[in-house]
Amino acid sequence: MTIESTTENKNANFSVLGFDLGKHTGWCFLDRINESNGLILFDNFAQFYSSAMELIDLWKPSAIVIGKPNLFAKNSYNVFSFHTKLLGILCLIAEKKGLVLFELNDSSSRKIVFGKGMKKKEAHALMPDFTDPDIADATILARAQYQLLLNA
């Protein structure tokens, strides 16, 4: 991945931890040097809280980014309800750790990363190293937010 900026950014020493929230929560940490990703698998909200705290304590990001849920998807009420609970947990963690939490919608993040709007499957096809779609989505979110902060 190449990240370019037309102006020198005094805040280039920041890092982003992206989450694609769900029962299988994909995550991606990104800074100038590192990119790491994985999945959080959990059975209850306490496990999600512990796993998210472990990631934040390990990577020490300066910002968190999450994807906004698609309100028009199948079972959107259930997805939105579950997503909101996970968002609440991350909001609590961000506040406790003094972190900024950003939300991006999927289509905007794909446009920022790939330069044009595209469907999820098209974006995933451009990322063949990612066999898990949740990790791919979290990576796209982290890369998009990193690019936005870099160009701010």
Beta bridge partners of 65: 18, 102
> What is the pLDDT of the chain when averaged over all its residues?
86
Q: What is the pLDDT of residue 74?
A: 64
CA separation for the pair 15, 141 (Å, rounded): 13
Dihedral (C-alpha) 7, 13, 14, 17: value to the nearest 10 degrees? 120
Beta bridge partners of 126: none
| pLDDT tens for each residue of 80-127 | 888 899 999 999 999 999 999 999 988 889 899 988 777 777 787 788
